[in-house]
Structure 1
Amino acid sequence: MYGHSGGLVVQDRSIKIVVLFLIPLLLYLVPLPFTPLMEPDEGRYSAIPSAMNATGDYVTPRLKAAVYFEKPPLVYWATAVAFRIFGENAFSSRLFAALSAWGCILLVYRMGLFFHDARTGLYAAAVLTTFLYHVAIGRINILDMPLAFFVCMAIWSGFHCFAGAKQKKGWLYLLYLFSALAFLAKGLIGIAFPFGVVVIWLLISGRWREIFALFSPIGILIFSAVSLPWLILVQQQNPDFFRFFFIQEHLLRYATRMHDRYQPFYFYLPIILAGTLPWCAFLPEAIRGVGKGEKWFGSAEKRLLLTWFGLIFLFFSISSSKLIPYIAPVFIPVALSFGHLFRRYQERPGEGGAGELPPLRYRLTGILQSLLFMAVPVAPLFLREHRVSWDSWWPWVAFPFLIQILILFLPDRMRRRRGPAWFATIYLLFALFVVTLTPSVAQYLAPYKSAYPLSQAIRKQVPAGATLYQYGMSLYGVDFYTGKRTPIVDDIGEVRYGSQQLPVAERERYFLTSDAFFRLIRETDGLYCATENDEKLERLKKEVPALRVLWHNEAYALVELKKS
């Protein structure tokens, strides 16, 4: 990422290809098929579009054949299309989320180009590509990365509308279009965030009179044409939809603790700090090198980025329901800020350029970070639960460990020879670290976080026409991988509402209590059941002395239940 005069050669097309295409391809698309789907989210968000393709009903989402109104259908539709094209597998399941993450990288490049130049855009894109949060959330099938992409595109379109763009109406219409897509991805926040950020930015910029220009009859028509057809159709098919979707899953989820996801106000601070690794660890050095008294950001840029970050951060911090993926849209403005700082640091004579190393106190966080990342791959050797043996584990973690050793020494060595190579070396080495760490993460998590190993055993051990019950658990991936509709015993959870809409006979067959299940065992010889390999298996052994374990690992067991 460097060229003549020690600077980034933005005219060199190969640099853009590497930063905007090759590295994102390597990090976000290539690894998708190598990790089995994780529970519960990826199993859920794969089972729903699979059911859509199987039934031909793309209006009412269904999970385990029960209506599932928690989220709108856009991501389900996109995944269903991917299933049609590439088959039902981990790659196609995650493809839309990965493309959305890639889209965010291209967006932050365009933002850097708009506010500064292409060089800043490439720095910002490189930073976002390798943010620990972005690379983690961007490769799993959940709704938050597609939501983040559409929300950020809507915010950027709204800003462009008032930033002197020639096609002002066109950008305004894009604001409405992307807001509609964000709404169909995850609900009302897809509207609230884009319009909220633009309105607050106009207010703090002293342009409050222009707020009224956001109102657009054509924009409303665009929004309605995209979002209303599904709302009308799903309400016609399900009369209770509006109440459940807007009141329970929006208002009550945000304002109450009904889903047991309460976290303290500061919950997202460590998430953002960890999510911006590795680059936040190098910030002390970069900020020191930028220079005192310099104006870091233009007024319009600073107000937009602070509003963008601040509104979303405060909204979720106040909420009574918090999960790590919710905060995804804030990392785009953070990446632009970081990219601009690192670009200026690298090109400041005597600082980021070739020369002596900065004092150790400014490099200490970077050193500690590498030591932390060196500890992560070897941590499973010392855990109480899910501990692994050295003989089986070291081939999986040797390369990530060695790469972190290189990050300790190689960037500074490259800095002495050619200053801007410091940033490029960190960027490329951390990307390589993520690539080499992915197989070990898959190897470690799959046995107890994925239904794939259990599903493979089911295919081998359970006859094709036999019913398989899940006792005390609900792994959606079992249904997805095996093609079976598995009845659930005692762990109805989030499908409780949908199960209550089913006919009584179907509900009693597929959503059982323990008492009903044990009565069924006494009446039927040779039932098959999957359960967790803990006290639930022990209870089954007590209730069914003739139980036979067909397969088990540390997390799950597959058993045959015979009458005594």
Structure 2
Amino acid sequence: MRTGTKTALLLALFALYYLVPIEFRALWQPDETRYAEISREMLFSDSFIVPHFFDLRYFEKPVAGYWINNLGQLLFGHTNFGVRAGAIFSTTLSAVLIYWLGRQMFASRKIALTGSVIFLTSLLVYSIGTYAVLDPILLLWLVSAMCSYWLTVQAMTSQQRLRGYVLLGAACAMGFMTKGFLALAVPVLAIMPWAIWQHRFGELLRWGPLTVMVAVLLSAPWALAINHQEGDFWHYFFWVEHIQRFAESNAQHKAPFWYYLPVLLAGCLPWLGLLPGSLLAAWRQRNQQAGACYLLSWVLLPLLFFSIARGKLPTYILPCFAPLALLMANYAYSGSVQVMKAFKVNGWINFLFGVVTTLVLLVAIAPWGLAHRPVYASNETLSVMCGALAFIGWGVMGWLSRKPASDRWQLAALCPLMLALLVGFAIPQKVRDSKQPQSFISVVHDRLANSRYLLADNPGVASAVAWELQRSDINFYDAKGELQYGLSYPDAQSRYVAADAFAAWLDVHRRQGKVSLVLMLGSDGIMPDAHLPPPDDVYRQGRLVYYGYDAAP
């Protein structure tokens, strides 16, 4: 196959995964709607130093990730694709850097290109890389940092080495301004053991201060500016977002030490069959192949660090998939007998995964299934069929990729394709009604837009309302959630209305205009009629409820 044909096929594959389906998937709350709204408010206010959420101070993350998201919304407008463009761009650029690193390490275009394809089609990478959160942006800066250090390793002159360490400092600075001190921990954890193993620790000590100086100089203007505007930002961001989240007994998202093992295994699909052999081969080659040892250190040390931390989320180990992709690609072209077996095992894993998930969908959670409470409703046959077709496609490609002859094992890259194209149509209505509020908001859009006051009891749903209506003046009823810190400021306390004070608040404020209240019901779906004044208008869609109170001058 000619190079031009291969390039065209790769671009088409990329478009089918990362471009075509994106606009057809509604935004998820709370993450996507949160980052969409924060970036929208930043663009609207032309204030690019302090992040605000509903015009409230929001100190959970630094600012650089919002800058990338700003570009997406500037270029592609007020669209779902515009919200996700920053994550997609960052993931794509990470794949390009992986290609560069593969060429430098293994002197093989084939290994480098396969590594990028494995990376882009890995389930965890694709899931997060097309999802509007900050983790794909952080991933870009971490991959940039690791590539920059490898540039210093290859340097033949002091000028080349200087360039590498300066780029490393710049990548660390951008990573720090995207998600904080975590961006500094991962490169240190991955590079330090390898440098000691390769007897390069002395060089690292000599040149390291330059990297630190570059990182400080690049991040200092924003760090000083936000400290000047909001003096308690660093106290909150360091102690609450770093120490408490990762180390203290009350850390968020607590999980056991082994939490990331199933995440890693599922995230490696559809390449899971190559995982054990690639890690084992890299360990065996640690003394002969510096590149494989470098990638292994990049996988294992951050993985161990995140496993030890009390707070855990699947997105935290996303940086581990960049080196894993190159290790798998290098292993795939090693030509050993074990690799041929791994290809076959990988095909069987994908085939069985497709078959089992299809059966679970059709036999258990479909409306006619065996589950006591099916996930799909009786009128969602089309959604069930879309889901089944997605996993049937996975199984078919797994079956075709079982034989390694003529590189058929590479067909595994097509296993998630039908899922990527159809997942937006296969989501059950009950999930859409709680996690994708855009369809609910579209029904009550005019009623919300014509309201003088808007209230919500859930920040995720409130951010969807704010983004859709392009207004940030949402008040909060009964629950504060992640906005507790922002609402604690004296100038923001009026934005919160306690449940027992709502009737009195409503009596005063509806004299100034219409009041709308959006509620997220509990999993039991019980309406709060007994706790609220009778509304003039009610609309319910699943767990989302709209209460309208007409103006009463």
Note whether the superposition's TM-score is higher than 0.5.
Answer: yes
Is the CA contact (8 Å cut-off) linking 1:489 and 1:514 kept in structure 2? yes
> In the alignment, is residue 64 of structure 1 matched against residue 64 of structure 2?
no
For residues 512 and 17 of structure 1, do their structure 2 counterparts lie closer, same or farther at Cα, with a shift above 3 Å needed?
same
Indicate which of 425, 438, 462 corresponds to 2:411.
425
Is the CA contact (8 Å cut-off) linking 1:471 and 1:531 kept in structure 2? yes
Which position in structure 2 is the counterpart of 1:512? 497
Which position in structure 1 is the counterpart of 2:72? 82
CA distance in 2, matches of 1:97, 1:442: 25
Is the CA contact (8 Å cut-off) linking 1:540 and 1:547 kept in structure 2? no
Which position in structure 1 is the counterpart of 2:188? 195
> In the alignment, is residue 102 of structure 1 matched against residue 92 of structure 2?
yes
Which position in structure 1 is the counterpart of 2:240? 248
For residues 518 and 535 of structure 1, do their structure 2 counterparts lie closer, same or farther at Cα, with a shift above 3 Å needed?
farther
Structure 1 gaps of 5+ residues are: 4-10
Which position in structure 2 is the counterpart of 1:93? 83
> In the alignment, is residue 374 of structure 1 matched against residue 362 of structure 2?
no
CA distance in 2, matches of 1:262, 1:350: 38
Give the 5 Å matches for 1:230-245.
230-245=222-237
Q: CA RMSD in A?
A: 3.2
How big is the shift at 1:350?
11
How big is the shift at 1:88?
1.9
Which position in structure 2 is the counterpart of 1:7? none
For residues 202 and 349 of structure 1, do their structure 2 counterparts lie closer, same or farther at Cα, with a shift above 3 Å needed?
closer
CA distance in 2, matches of 1:542, 1:199: 61
Is the CA contact (8 Å cut-off) linking 2:331 and 2:339 kept in structure 1? no
How big is the shift at 1:407?
2.2
CA distance in 2, matches of 1:373, 1:49: 37
Is the CA contact (8 Å cut-off) linking 2:456 and 2:477 kept in structure 1? yes
> In the alignment, is residue 265 of structure 1 matched against residue 257 of structure 2?
yes
CA distance in 1, matches of 2:7, 2:174: 28
Q: Deviations over 1:512-534 (max 9, x none)?
A: 11112132235565632111244
CA distance in 1, matches of 2:287, 2:272: 18
For residues 231 and 154 of structure 1, do their structure 2 counterparts lie closer, same or farther at Cα, with a shift above 3 Å needed?
same
Percentage of pairs with the same residue: 22
How big is the shift at 1:493?
1.4
For residues 371 and 539 of structure 1, do their structure 2 counterparts lie closer, same or farther at Cα, with a shift above 3 Å needed?
closer
Which position in structure 2 is the counterpart of 1:138? 129
> In the alignment, is residue 451 of structure 1 matched against residue 437 of structure 2?
yes
How big is the shift at 1:428?
2.9
> In the alignment, is residue 335 of structure 1 matched against residue 325 of structure 2?
yes
Is the CA contact (8 Å cut-off) linking 2:170 and 2:215 kept in structure 1? yes
For residues 427 and 34 of structure 1, do their structure 2 counterparts lie closer, same or farther at Cα, with a shift above 3 Å needed?
same
How big is the shift at 1:548?
4.8
> In the alignment, is residue 321 of structure 1 matched against residue 311 of structure 2?
yes
CA distance in 2, matches of 1:477, 1:324: 23
> In the alignment, is residue 214 of structure 1 matched against residue 207 of structure 2?
yes
CA distance in 1, matches of 2:4, 2:286: 28
Report the residue type matching 1:169 in the other structure: L
Is the CA contact (8 Å cut-off) linking 1:126 and 1:427 kept in structure 2? yes
CA distance in 1, matches of 2:292, 2:130: 30
Indicate which of 298, 302, 307 corresponds to 1:308.
298
CA distance in 2, matches of 1:319, 1:252: 10
How big is the shift at 1:72?
0.7
For residues 388 and 215 of structure 1, do their structure 2 counterparts lie closer, same or farther at Cα, with a shift above 3 Å needed?
same
Q: Which has the higher mean CA deviation after the structures are superposed, 203-212 or 44-53?
A: 203-212
Is the CA contact (8 Å cut-off) linking 1:531 and 1:537 kept in structure 2? no
For residues 436 and 387 of structure 1, do their structure 2 counterparts lie closer, same or farther at Cα, with a shift above 3 Å needed?
closer
Q: Deviations over 1:37-59 (max 9, x none)?
A: 11111111111111112222111
Number of residues of Structure 1 aligned to a counterpart in Structure 2 = 538
Is the CA contact (8 Å cut-off) linking 1:287 and 1:341 kept in structure 2? yes
Indicate which of 467, 471, 489 corresponds to 1:480.
467
Which position in structure 1 is the counterpart of 2:454? 468
How big is the shift at 1:498?
1.2
Q: Which has the higher mean CA deviation after the structures are superposed, 386-395 or 548-557?
A: 386-395
For residues 561 and 258 of structure 1, do their structure 2 counterparts lie closer, same or farther at Cα, with a shift above 3 Å needed?
farther
SS at match of 1:162: helix
Report the residue type matching 2:456 in the other structure: Q
For residues 514 and 367 of structure 1, do their structure 2 counterparts lie closer, same or farther at Cα, with a shift above 3 Å needed?
same
For residues 243 and 363 of structure 1, do their structure 2 counterparts lie closer, same or farther at Cα, with a shift above 3 Å needed?
closer
Report the residue type matching 2:208 in the other structure: F
CA distance in 2, matches of 1:360, 1:88: 45
How big is the shift at 1:405?
4.1
TM-score by length of 2: 0.88
For residues 362 and 489 of structure 1, do their structure 2 counterparts lie closer, same or farther at Cα, with a shift above 3 Å needed?
closer
CA distance in 1, matches of 2:252, 2:374: 25
SS at match of 2:519: strand
Indicate which of 147, 152, 177 corresponds to 1:161.
152
How big is the shift at 1:281?
3.5
> In the alignment, is residue 33 of structure 1 matched against residue 18 of structure 2?
no
CA distance in 2, matches of 1:409, 1:229: 55
How big is the shift at 1:295?
5.4
CA distance in 1, matches of 2:228, 2:356: 54
Structure 2 gaps of 5+ residues are: none
How big is the shift at 1:34?
1.4
> In the alignment, is residue 551 of structure 1 matched against residue 531 of structure 2?
no
CA distance in 1, matches of 2:344, 2:97: 35
For residues 538 and 400 of structure 1, do their structure 2 counterparts lie closer, same or farther at Cα, with a shift above 3 Å needed?
closer
How big is the shift at 1:71?
0.6
Q: Which has the higher mean CA deviation after the structures are superposed, 131-140 or 478-487?
A: 478-487
SS at match of 2:516: strand
> In the alignment, is residue 439 of structure 1 matched against residue 425 of structure 2?
yes
SS at match of 2:333: helix
SS at match of 2:49: coil
CA distance in 1, matches of 2:125, 2:134: 13
CA distance in 2, matches of 1:68, 1:430: 36
> In the alignment, is residue 532 of structure 1 matched against residue 525 of structure 2?
no
